[in-house]
Amino acid sequence: MKKAKGAKKVAKVMREFKKGELNIGKSAKKVKSRKQAVAIALSEAGMSKKKKKK
């Protein structure tokens, strides 16, 4: 099964987060929040967050 280009980037960033290697911007500080990691991943992949229907 093939993944879209954006999905591969998101997966890569989330793997970095799980290993504790994901930085906040260009600083040396590490990302601690999963929500923040998802936001970074989507931003780098050029995707937007899906909205939930009410």
Q: Tell me if 2 sits within 8 A of 8, measured CB to CB.
A: no
Claim: this prediction has a pTM higher than 0.85: no
Confidence check: pLDDT of 2 > 70: no
d(CA 10, CA 16): 10
d(CA 22, CA 40): 9
How confident is residue 46, by pLDDT bands cut at 50, 70 and 90? Answer: confident
Phi then psi for 23, rounded to 5 degrees? -95, 155
Tokens of 24: 């906040």
Closest CA to 20 of 8, 42, 7, 37: 37
